[in-house]
Amino acid sequence: MVNKVDILAIGAHPDDVELSCGGTLAKHVQQGKKVAVVDLTEGELGSRGTVTTRYSEAVDASKILGLVERKNIQLPDGFFQEDQESLIRLIRQIRYFQPTIILANAPSDRHPDHGRGAKLIARASFLSGLRKIETSYNDVLQEPWRPTSFYHYIQDYFLEPDFVVDVTDFVDIKFEAIKAYKTQFYDPNSKEPQTPISGEEFFDFMKGRMMQYGRPIGVQYAEGFIADRYIGVNDLFDLR
């Protein structure tokens, strides 16, 4: 069974991809690309909300972004490891979606799950292409698959990007998707504990970061990405 997509964005927690590359995903959906998301954990250790609310919010955010599908492989939040069981769970999803491009967590970040997730996703993306690793989905043997391109999106820490994507026209969709996670972000009526992302000023921080990435290429807002290898282009005029 296969549901082939152009882009598969993978995050350690529900809302990771919306926060970091939501504009990029929305832009490519509008271009007619098929985009899916895999969440590694249910975010069960989060200070606000519950597993139930996180699933409901992820459904709403997915509709806003226009995703074709979203999966959660239910690794333990805060405690998942780069072990065989975790890798096999993720390999099944990569082979199911057969993405051309994978977008993964930042290689280093404030939350340790993000850097750990980046390593897990990178390793699973490679192992997924090995024929001698056998996996099945709904009792059907899967074919090996390795994405053509693999990039890390940038999260809370400032990291120097290898390239940026102009998302100026998609900022409203990005923030609408983020705000679908009502329990996690600013709500003046919330009685839940304050966190580093629950204050109203967090949205200003995010816009400032996108402006910082957009300014060098002459656009208002951009999202940054890190590549694990050289990026090739056919035409210098594709760059700016």
pLDDT band at residue 1 using 50, 70 and 90 as cut-offs: low
Q: Compute the distance between CA of residue 10 and CA of residue 101 in angstroms, rounded to an integer.
A: 11
pLDDT 10s digits, 166-192: 999 999 999 999 999 999 998 888 888
pLDDT band at residue 93 using 50, 70 and 90 as cut-offs: very high
Q: What is the pTM for the complete model shown?
A: 0.96
Domain-located, residue 240: no
Looking at the structure of the chain, the number of domains it has is 1
Domain-located, residue 1: no
Domain-located, residue 238: no
The pLDDT assigned to 29 comes to 98
Whole-number mean pLDDT of the chain? Answer: 96
Domain-located, residue 107: yes
pLDDT 10s digits, 113-152: 999 999 999 999 999 999 999 999 999 999 999 999 999 9
Average of per-residue pLDDT across 143-168: 97
Q: Compute the distance between CA of residue 82 and CA of residue 103 in angstroms, rounded to an integer.
A: 18
Structural domain boundaries, residue 49: 7-228
Domain-located, residue 237: no
Q: What is the CATH number of the domain that holds 96?
A: 3.40.50.10320
Domain-located, residue 2: no
Domain-located, residue 236: no
